[in-house]
Amino acid sequence: MIQKTHTNYEKIWKELYRRMKLVLDKYGTSYDFRAREGDYWIIDEPYGFDQHNVYFHKFKMFESRTVKELQALLGQFSGWEIFVTVCIDPEGASWPDMGLIIREYEIIDGLQRQYFPPKYQSIQYEGSRVGTDKD
Amino acid sequence: MGEASFLTDDEKRDATGSEPLPASSLTTLLAKYSPDQPRVPAGNSDGGQWTSGGEGGSPVGDEEGDHELLPENAQPVQGHHYTPRELFEGYDLRPEVRRFFEDDVTGKLLGGRHTWTREHKVYNEAVIEKFEAFLAEKSVSSKELTLDQAKEFSDKLVKESNDPRIRDFNFKIFIREIAFQLLMRALRRKR
């Protein structure tokens, strides 16, 4: 277990970033801002909370195995969470903000599947629950 | 200050001055911000950050022992890069230009919890779009960009941008920076 102090926050942040990237690179490519193409993007600046943020640009990234592997990483990072944001913009459509919060022992499921293609509407995550305003 | 949920309302008021101040009163917060307040000169590794004035002043919120003042869940971060990492790591740039972009950050921020918004990606895309347009306007390649041109780009097309994709995100960051300065000032007074 990696213990956090004020002085090693960024070191922990970087290590979790590195491990997340190893997982996500198995299932997609990192977003290229010049070409505006790619499957995911991990926000690359630490913002102070025990939290990483990743944008998923393709539905395939929401497969349960991907999310499960990200969750498994948190076993070594007590108290940390991963915010997954849906960053898919179908042409001409405006989608609400939605996503997942992955924690070591639970997943907050804030996906609004009615916007997803039928193939992805049935995705379920083990240990997930609907979020509340306290999340 | 709304981000500083570990503070009581009284502590938040204390952090923002002696007079009562609604945490949501953006106007009041902004009235306390003086754009003329001295900043560490650009080029310095702390370039652009507020100082307490005087020569060689260290950035506010960077005093010895400040970290120990903070509750464990209030983790200050070094700042937000005005120019996204994808730009200064993704383009072929002169070393001094790359270094400038790397060091071109806000002052320390009070961490803000992200939500499921896409604003960060939108910001990065917009800044890179402006950068491409800037290169075209100057008729230079990224490798030919001078340090002065990089500073001009950062000042005019990023920090002073009127493009809502850039301006709105920077404004949120700016408020976090103010929150951090106010919090540290209050905590130091209690020390």
Contact B85 A49 (CB under 8 A): no
Q: How many CB atoms lie within 10 A of CB B179?
A: 22
pLDDT at residue B23 in the model: 37
Query: Which residue intervals of B16-84 are DSSP H helices?
Result: 26-31, 66-69
Residue A17 touches chain B, beta carbons under 8 Å: no
What's the pLDDT tens digit per position in A24-78?
Answer: 999 999 999 999 999 999 998 887 778 899 999 999 999 999 999 999 999 999 8
Picking from B77, B84, B118, the nearest residue to A48 by CB comes out as: B77
pLDDT at residue B67 in the model: 57
pTM for this prediction: 0.73
What's the pLDDT tens digit per position in B127-163?
Answer: 999 999 999 999 999 999 999 999 999 999 999 999 9
Q: Where are the domains of chain B?
A: 78-191
Q: Which ipTM value was assigned to this complex? A: 0.85
Q: Which residues of B touch A44 (CB under 8 A)?
A: 85-86
- Report the alpha-carbon distance of residue B189 to residue B56 in Å, rounded: 22
**3-state DSSP assignment of residue B158:** helix
Q: Is the separation of the CB atoms in B130 and B87 below 8 Å?
A: no
